[in-house]
């Protein structure tokens, strides 16, 4: 397995819409494993292929407290959303930035597993938020896109300053 570089906002590659995975093979399985390792190493709970500059509809998530329940979603699609919750979100592509985002409280997601078998999952709470957040990435959105333009420009300025300081 290998650690993958994570794109950082406002990199325009984060705006690309991911294409469906047409065939689940060893390449996709290796990508999922590498994404899982990358996510764990970065202390994240979710990672979309878009964030590692692979524009395919593939997401890994582990919202468990023990960090030992990696879930892989191939071609995830929300089929039902209900309720509303608001909570602070962060993102591996927007390091050190957190803000409140409104999301559905409960979602149903249809997807393929790594064996190509259709699955459906009903999720709520943190897992529901994470699924919505990662599917946003596949659709070319970052969580800051849900914020006001003023907040977006402040975040861009803060990240640019961080990049200058670490360069």
* pLDDT of the residue at 160: 84
* Separation in Å, CA 23 to CA 17, 58, 116, 126: 18, 12, 8, 30
Q: Judge whether residue 166 has pLDDT over 80.
A: no
Rounded distance, CA 144 to CA 4, Å? 23
Q: Judge whether residue 115 has pLDDT over 80.
A: yes
Mean pLDDT of 28-46: 98
Domains present along the chain, CATH in parentheses: 12-166 (3.90.45.10)
Please list the active-site residues: 134
> pLDDT tens-digit profile of 38-81?
999 999 999 999 999 999 999 999 999 999 999 999 999 999 99
Is 42 in contact with 24 (CB distance < 8 Å)? Answer: no
* pLDDT of the residue at 167: 67
Percent of the chain whose predicted confidence (pLDDT) is above 90: 89
């Amino acid at each position: 397995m290998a650690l993958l570089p994570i794109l950082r906002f406002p990199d325009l590659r984060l705006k690309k819409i991911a294409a469906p995975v047409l065939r689940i093979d060893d390449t996709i399985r290796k990508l999922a494993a590498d994404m899982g390792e990358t996510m764990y190493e970065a202390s994240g709970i979710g990672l979309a292929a878009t964030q590692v500059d692979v524009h395919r509809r593939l997401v890994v998530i582990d919202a468990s407290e023990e960090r030992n329940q990696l879930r892989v979603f191939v071609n995830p699609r929300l089929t039902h959303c209900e309720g509303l919750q608001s909570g602070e979100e962060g993102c591996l592509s927007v390091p050190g930035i957190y803000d409140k985002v409104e999301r559905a409280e409960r979602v149903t997601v249809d997807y393929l597993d790594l064996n190509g078998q259709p699955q459906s999952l009903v999720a709520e709470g943190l897992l529901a938020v994470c699924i919505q957040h990662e599917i946003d990435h596949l659709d070319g959105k970052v969580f800051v896109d849900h914020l006001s333009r003023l907040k977006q420009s402040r975040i861009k300025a803060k990240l640019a300053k961080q990049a200058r300081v670490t360069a």
